[in-house]
Amino acid sequence: MLPYFNIIKGNFLQYIRSYSFLLTIAFSLFIAFNFVPSPDANYVTVSFSGYTGAYNSEWIGFVTAIMASTFLSLCGFFLVNGSIRKDIETRIGHIIGTTRISNISYLFAKILSNFLVLLSILAIIFLTGIFLFFLYGNEYTLNLLSFIKPYLFIAIPSLFVVASLSVILEVIFPTKRMLQYGVFLFLFFAILFSSSIENNAILSTDVFGIQHTTSSVSNQVQETFNRENVSLSIGFVSGSRNPQKIFEMNALSFPNWYIISRLLWVLLGVLGALIISFFFQRFNFKESPKKTISFHEESKYKSADFKLGNLNDANVEFSYSLAPLINAEILMLIRKNPSYLWILTLCGFISMIFIPLHIAHLYVLPILWFLQVAVWSDLVTKDKTFRTHFFTNSSYHPLKRLTISRIIAGLSLSICIAIPVLIRYVLQLDITSFINIILGATFIVVTAVFLGAFTKSKKTFEIAFFFLVYCNINRIEALDYFGGLHNSFSYILIMALLITLLFTASYLLLYKNKNYGH
């Protein structure tokens, strides 16, 4: 049992001791504060045909738990995914593979460590919700039990399922990270869609536990305002609270069948780990057999007639041009993504030529950029990952040359994807939108470099970039980074200043951390 708990403890401590955890805390606080909009905010997160609840403990507990169950499950998967891959990269997995710990014990330890990470973020959201109650609902009395129940029965089982699913998908697709993301996103939105269909079965498709609870609140709205049809809206929806459509929410009831269904989803996550343990290779990676070349076959190959010793007598001319480095980096970026992602990117690229320009700009372009998240996420961390930093450190001015080359290569890729939209704006003489897209493409790359330099991990950028794409598709103006919702000169100045600050901070971080020689 001791090695089992050591794996859980080691994984959890490894995460909370990293810079990524500090950013996660800041990000969680920011999100949790926005889960409950201020009374004068111009958006809502949970509404029933425009009706929202008064800021009592029942409503704030319900809203924060519902948002945590859905939104934290969505972002949390990207946060905890890759725990097995990390053991492979750090060679810890090979050591674990030689121990007597069983496959199911190892996988279940990974699930529990992922669950603890998500649970720590949920605790931050919970405490923030308590603070928001005293900030916005000071005329009400805190009912702690009514506040805790939604977290206990809605959010916690959902996070355990996500922690289990992250490990299961990593075992099924061990080297296909983007395929893991794609399968999860498909399951997530399919579950979210099926949750809108009312079903009181013991084990329904309502993994996030929102169907029964939102139906109960919807009934309260119908009884209070004598309405027949009430539609639910969850997310960051534009529109302020209507004072005439505010009701005092009563405490939620959780019947036995609902509690049993939530427990069954937890057991299903454990069962999934048990089944997948039979397919787990336990870090036993077999190398492909090397082809043996016979003497006659070897004679067919012509020698290069190259000797390292001849370099001492040769007049070698050094080239200080960045072009070869940029070409090599672009080639590596292209080869990094699998072919099916490039096929999807090409289809989206062609579609942006014919579809309405505002749709291509607001929706298709950010999705195509997100498909390249794995390409940009490790621009400055791949040397550590593949242990090539000793080689790059010995090169000539790597911080000035290699980092700049990678930034230019990443920027070239992001601009190339946006070419159809850029050309259409030029034809319309809309130079402001043209500049906004260029700044957005630059912002993606410098953000990837900054977060990689600060956290020494590619995971933080993947989560942050997904959050940006999600918010922009939902038209959140405050997080518009590529001019989809803004078209002013002041916006261009703000983005240019932000990009300059990120680039400067990235350079200073890389120099201080000595990730590259100088």
In this structure, the answer to whether residues 216 and 140 fall within a common structural domain is yes
Least confident of 32-46, 315-329, 353-367, 452-466: 315-329
Quick one: pLDDT at residue 11? 77
In this structure, the answer to whether residues 260 and 124 fall within a common structural domain is yes
In this structure, the answer to whether residues 249 and 328 fall within a common structural domain is no
In this structure, the answer to whether residues 154 and 57 fall within a common structural domain is yes
* Cα→Cα distances 139→54, 55, 224, 441, Å: 10, 9, 21, 47
- Round to whole Å and give the CA distance between 460 and 261: 33
In this structure, the answer to whether residues 9 and 92 fall within a common structural domain is yes
Confidence class for position 499, pLDDT limits 50, 70, 90: very high
Which domain does 37 fall in, by range? 2-279
What tens digit of pLDDT does each residue of 419-436 get? 999 999 999 999 999 999
Residue 44: phi, psi to the nearest 5? -130, 160
SS3 for 175-191 is CCHHHHHHHHHHHHHHH
Mean pLDDT of the chain: 82
Q: Is 313 inside a domain boundary? A: no
In this structure, the answer to whether residues 270 and 330 fall within a common structural domain is no
In this structure, the answer to whether residues 153 and 244 fall within a common structural domain is yes
Q: Is 220 inside a domain boundary? A: yes
Quick one: pLDDT at residue 283? 64
In this structure, the answer to whether residues 362 and 492 fall within a common structural domain is yes
b/e sequence 198-223, b meaning 16+ C-beta within 10 Å: eeeeeebebbbbbbbbbebbbebbbe
Instruction: Identify the residue with better confidence: 303 or 71.
Output: 71
In this structure, which amino acid lies at residue 269? G
Give the CA dihedral 379, 385, 386, 387, nearest 10 degrees: 110
Q: Is the pLDDT of residue 337 over 90?
A: no
Average pLDDT rounded to a whole number, residues 88-97: 74
Quick one: pLDDT at residue 493? 94
In this structure, the answer to whether residues 233 and 328 fall within a common structural domain is no
Q: Is the pLDDT of residue 225 over 70?
A: yes
In this structure, the answer to whether residues 258 and 380 fall within a common structural domain is no
Q: Choose one of 220, 253, 279: the last residue of a domain.
A: 279
Quick one: pLDDT at residue 199? 54
In this structure, the answer to whether residues 274 and 328 fall within a common structural domain is no
pTM for this structure?
0.75
In this structure, the answer to whether residues 410 and 502 fall within a common structural domain is yes
Quick one: pLDDT at residue 247? 86
- Round to whole Å and give the CA distance between 375 and 165: 24
Q: Is 339 inside a domain boundary? A: yes
Q: Is the pLDDT of residue 89 over 80?
A: no
Quick one: pLDDT at residue 1? 58
Q: Is 38 inside a domain boundary? A: yes
Closest CA to 83 of 182, 159, 164, 160: 164
Q: By the 8 A CB rule, do 387 and 428 touch? A: no
Sign of CA dihedral 33, 39, 45, 46: positive
Q: Is 123 inside a domain boundary? A: yes
Domain count, the chain: 2
Q: Is 302 inside a domain boundary? A: no
Q: By the 8 A CB rule, do 118 and 25 touch? A: no
Q: By the 8 A CB rule, do 36 and 29 touch? A: no
| Terminal C-alpha separation, the chain | 48
* Cα→Cα distances 451→1, 309, 370, 445, 446, Å: 37, 43, 16, 10, 9
Q: Is 303 inside a domain boundary? A: no
Q: Is 295 inside a domain boundary? A: no
